């Protein structure tokens, strides 16, 4: 049980990073709303070109992102079969931070789509997907503790 202090510290770091990634969603929303408020007729930067088809590519990428996060987490958890608690805690922290970063991707794609096409609705749909992913993959200390107990060599 000597690893508990190290586990708590790693969890706190992961928690703070996850919340920081989530906070960037607010910045994206402010950016979109400021542009919409200051440029009432904002049609995107590619307003003369017909880029409406890109919406489907971005939504496809977001759908793939949902599965990619799960796939990467599975790969990382399979690589972490057993070992010393210290090493497992590092792997667990890394998997959590990578998941958090990947949860932000749909919102980033939403911002890019807003800049290209100018539709805030698409941005907010993708922002919502990011929020759902952040909630699903929010680091939970009880899960970390249970996982370490099952994987650690004693």
**Residue 48 covered by a domain:** no
**Residue 133 covered by a domain:** yes
Write down the mean pLDDT value for the chain: 86
Lowest-pLDDT range of 40-44, 100-104, 137-141: 40-44
Q: Which helix or strand (DSSP H or E) is residue 44 part of?
A: none
**Residue 47 covered by a domain:** no
**Residue 97 covered by a domain:** yes
**Residue 52 covered by a domain:** no
The count of structural domains within the chain is: 1
Number of neighbours of residue 89 by Cβ within 10 angstroms: 22
- The predicted structure's pLDDT at residue 124: 96
**Residue 51 covered by a domain:** no
Parent domain of 111:
4-42+58-151
Average pLDDT over residues 141-152: 81
Nearest to 149 by CA among 70, 75, 89, 76: 89
- The predicted structure's pLDDT at residue 80: 63
- Dihedral over alpha carbons 24, 100, 130, 126 (to 10 degrees): 80
- Angstrom distance (rounded) from CA 75 to CA 61: 20
Total-model pTM: 0.85
**Residue 145 covered by a domain:** yes
**Residue 49 covered by a domain:** no
pLDDT in tens, 65-122: 889 998 888 887 776 666 677 788 888 888 899 999 999 999 999 999 988 887 889 9
Position of tokens 């049980």? Answer: 1
């Amino acid at each position: 049980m000597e690893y508990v202090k190290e586990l708590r510290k790693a969890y706190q770091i992961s928690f703070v990073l996850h919340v920081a990634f989530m906070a960037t969603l607010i910045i994206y929303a402010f950016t979109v709303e400021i542009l919409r408020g200051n440029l009432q007729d904002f049609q995107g930067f590619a307003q003369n070109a017909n880029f409406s088809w890109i919406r489907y590519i971005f939504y496809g990428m977001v759908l793939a992102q949902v599965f990619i996060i799960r796939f990467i987490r599975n790969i990382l958890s399979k690589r972490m079969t057993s070992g010393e608690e210290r090493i497992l805690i590092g792997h667990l922290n890394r998997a959590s931070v990578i998941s958090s970063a990947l949860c932000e991707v749909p919102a980033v794609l939403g911002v890019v789509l807003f800049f290209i096409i100018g539709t805030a609705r698409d941005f907010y749909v993708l922002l919502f997907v990011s929020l759902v992913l952040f909630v699903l993959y929010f680091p939970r200390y009880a899960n970390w503790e249970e996982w370490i107990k099952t994987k650690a060599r004693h």
